[in-house]
Amino acid sequence: MSITKFSRRRLLKTALGTSVSLVGISALSPLYAIESMEFRGPDVPDVEAVKVGSRCYYVPALGPMPTHENYGFFNNPCFIITSKGVVVVDTGSSVQIGEMVLRQIRTITDKPIIKVINTHFHGDHWLGNHAFIVENPKVEIYAHPNNISALKGGADKFWFDFLQKETKNQITGTIMSPPDKILKGGEVIKLGDTTLKIYYFGQMHTNSDLAVEVVEDKTMIMGDMVMRRIANMSDGSFLGTIKGLDEVLKLPIDTFIPMHGKHEGKKLIEDGKQFMEIIYHDTVKYYDEDGLSDFEIKPKIMADSFMKEEASKWPGFDVAMGKFIVAAIKEHEESMF
């Protein structure tokens, strides 16, 4: 279901002040001159959902990083069809992506959208929320308390602005609709024929990461706790990720859906844990014992056999590895105080 012209114009009045500060006057000025122009970026082309098990689906990203060419669609919004209705886990980087995901849901079921879960506060996981509010104004939108606090503290505007910049304003028209209901981890949600278990392992990719187990399908939706992609650890913890993935490996789960990359079995978790162990523990060794700096450590880490044979295939390997090493040094130094 698309946002109507009436609702867009009404929402424009309330959103314009915020949007001007985020996008910039120069980006919006043409919209003042022609009153009939709509305050909205382009629709996102349909991407067919991938079915995993009997209940779980995800809509695969158009690329590993947000760009103008892929409309900022660089993660995998998921949905779970239960006998009581549909649960959406992460909604994409814009209202346009959220609407496209909703169209894919409607090719499979006409059941109502009853819950949305945002796995963490990065913008590609919640900025599509408003599409589901338009579909069902009573939809419940959940997140960890740290997610809600971060968005209230300014992360909402930061991520909107970042994705506008990366997509050349293609998310224009997105109304920031953050989560307002809390999941702390440990909850068991029974929805007719489907049982969802919510997990919080502490700080991993961020301090707000939630995972959703679909018990009957032996499937877990991982958020960004693990992925075959090297992008951002500035909000995360290497030691926390290693510990969390170790806990995940103990669970009776067969299939894991990351929000970046394809669904896999336990090798995804094992490889993700090994990657984090090499980055952190080897960096600490070279830094403490050998007195090397970050730029001296980088070629040694990249020469590791796992890195050369496996991680070198992951998007971001060449450009982001240095940032990961700097983040590992920072975490190590902070742990000493």
Q: Is the pLDDT of residue 27 over 70?
A: no
Say what the alpha-carbon torsion angle 148, 154, 155, 157 is, to the nearest 10 degrees. Answer: 120
pLDDT tens figures, 231-255: 889 999 999 999 999 999 999 999 9
Per-residue pLDDT at 231: 83
Q: Is the pLDDT of residue 78 over 60?
A: yes
Per-residue pLDDT at 168: 96
What percent of the chain shows pLDDT beyond 90? 86
Cβ–Cβ < 8 Å for 143, 179:
yes
- Separation in Å, CA 214 to CA 46, 59, 230: 26, 17, 27
68 three-class SS: coil
Measured CA to CA, the distance from residue 116 to residue 325 in angstroms comes to 34
pLDDT tens figures, 147-201: 999 999 999 999 999 999 999 999 999 999 999 999 999 999 999 999 999 999 9
Tell me the average pLDDT across 94-104. Answer: 98
Cβ–Cβ < 8 Å for 163, 119:
no
Q: Is the pLDDT of residue 136 over 70?
A: yes
Per-residue pLDDT at 232: 86
Q: Is the pLDDT of residue 3 over 50?
A: no
Q: Which amino acid is at 319?
A: V
Cβ–Cβ < 8 Å for 133, 116:
no
Q: Which of 315, 330, 321 is nearest to 301 (CA)?
A: 321
Per-residue pLDDT at 83: 98
Q: Which residue has the higher pLDDT, 34 or 294?
A: 294
pLDDT-derived band at 337, boundaries 50, 70, 90? confident
What is the DSSP code string of 161-182?
A: HHHHHHHTSTTTTPPP----EE
Cβ–Cβ < 8 Å for 184, 202:
no
Per-residue pLDDT at 38: 59
Cβ–Cβ < 8 Å for 190, 197:
no
Cβ–Cβ < 8 Å for 94, 41:
yes
113 three-class SS: strand
Measured CA to CA, the distance from residue 225 to residue 204 in angstroms comes to 6
pLDDT-derived band at 111, boundaries 50, 70, 90? very high
Per-residue pLDDT at 2: 40
H helix or E strand, kind and range, residue 196: strand 194-199
Q: Is the pLDDT of residue 24 over 90?
A: no
Residues shown for the chain: 337
Measured CA to CA, the distance from residue 287 to residue 231 in angstroms comes to 22
Average pLDDT, the chain: 90
- Domain ranges in the chain are 5-264, 275-335
Give pTM, 2 decimals. Answer: 0.88
pLDDT-derived band at 73, boundaries 50, 70, 90? very high
Q: Is the pLDDT of residue 17 over 60?
A: no
Instruction: Confirm or reject CATH 3.40.50.280 for domain 5-264, answering yes or no.
Output: no
Per-residue pLDDT at 39: 81
